[in-house]
Amino acid sequence: MWITLLAMAVSVSLEPFRIGMTVLMINRPRPPLQLLAFLAGGFAVGTTVGVIVLFILRPALGSAHFTLPRVQIVVGAVLLINAAVIATFVHSFSKLSYDPIKDLVPIGGVGVTPTLLITAGANPPNDLKGLVRWSKDKPEGLNFSTAGYGLLQHLAVEEMGQRLDAKFVHVMYKGGAQASTDLITARVDFGSFAAGSVLPLVKDGKLKPVALIAQKRSGLVPEVPTVAEQGLPGLDAGVHFMLFAPAATPKDVVAVLEAELRKVVGDPALRERFIDIGFEPTPISSAEAAAIVKKTGEDWAGVIKRLNIKLD
């Protein structure tokens, strides 16, 4: 729903403009705006008044990553909604058909959902130190689940284990649903998940938060301390969603879209909807979004190399 609302908000009247070798004709007024979103659910096209929202799913190796599909568009503008983690793909894919930094330009921020370390309520740890103690009490270490191999949630726990001298063994799942179920029943010891996917289970008491993998607390779970507060600074696995355009998009077009995007993301009514689904809106500029994307790629490049992560 929030994708559709966003599409309506950033539909603007622009003159025809050229992106790369493809001429994208945009008609007045309120032209169709196509949002290329990597979401679960396969391929679907939803329409609203004057708006086309295009959802395309292209999974890679059963993980939660997606490759950029080659889509030929005749009429309309093509935009992409994805997370800043896209910047890590140049390190985790050996044959990537595009460069997330060179071929895309962030228009601005959409929303961020922090990463939570969680465990079943009956399990011993209540904080990060307790988690490490528990791992040392078990010769085989602790197993942990995530929604997908190579995601920030996976990389962050591997980095935590390295820094804390704790043995954490990743259990691979094809998605978050089964992984969450196995967490609740304690088939796995703990999990690392985007808050947006597990907050209802935390609020219902089915899962217990141990820490937030971030530098500062989140308004979504203000009572949960960060790993930085618990003695592990420098880690942030928040999932920052951005709106991207092709890098060749004229700067004046990016500026118009940026202004419209910031209006809708900053709207108080939309903020409440975002919070309901576990996101904090991020009405940031194109330059700020680009800085986050760049930093995400740089921060996790070494971890990906050390773990020899290959997603193709």
- CATH code of 175's domain: 3.40.190.10
Same-domain check for residues 121 and 185: yes
Same-domain check for residues 104 and 29: yes
By the 8 A CB rule, do 253 and 14 touch? yes
Band (78; pLDDT cuts 50, 70, 90): low
Same-domain check for residues 269 and 181: no
Instruction: Report, in angstroms and rounded to the nearest whole number, the Rg of the chain calculated over CA atoms.
Output: 20
Q: What is the pLDDT of residue 54?
A: 32
Domain that holds residue 175: 115-212
95-120 pLDDT, tens per residue?
887 788 888 899 999 889 999 999 99
Same-domain check for residues 155 and 94: no
Band (274; pLDDT cuts 50, 70, 90): confident
Do the bridges between strand 51-55 and strand 115-120 make them parallel or antiparallel, or are there none, so unpaired? unpaired
Q: What is the pLDDT of residue 307?
A: 94
In a domain, 76, yes or no: yes
SS3 312: coil
Task: Quote the CA–CA distance of 38 and 59 in Å, as a whole number.
Answer: 9
In a domain, 35, yes or no: yes
Same-domain check for residues 73 and 119: no
In a domain, 220, yes or no: no
Same-domain check for residues 180 and 194: yes
By the 8 A CB rule, do 246 and 100 touch? no
Same-domain check for residues 79 and 19: yes
SS3 292: helix
At which of 169, 196, 212 does a domain end? 212
Same-domain check for residues 14 and 84: yes
35-61 pLDDT, tens per residue?
443 333 332 333 222 233 332 223 333
Same-domain check for residues 204 and 146: yes
Mean pLDDT of 171-198: 88
Q: Is the pLDDT of residue 256 over 50?
A: yes
State pTM to two decimals. Answer: 0.77
In a domain, 154, yes or no: yes
CATH of the domain at 40: 3.40.190.150
The structural domain count of the chain equals 2
Q: What is the pLDDT of residue 253?
A: 76
Same-domain check for residues 126 and 191: yes
At which of 212, 227, 262 does a domain end? 212
At which of 168, 197, 212 does a domain end? 212
Q: What is the pLDDT of residue 61?
A: 30
In order, the DSSP letters of 99-122 are: -TTTSEEEEEEEEEE-EEEEEETT
Q: 10 Å Cβ neighbour count for 246?
A: 17
Q: Is the pLDDT of residue 162 over 90?
A: yes
Q: Is the pLDDT of residue 133 over 50?
A: yes
In a domain, 9, yes or no: yes
In a domain, 234, yes or no: no
Mean pLDDT of 61-88: 52
Same-domain check for residues 105 and 243: yes
Q: What is the pLDDT of residue 237?
A: 95
Same-domain check for residues 125 and 271: no
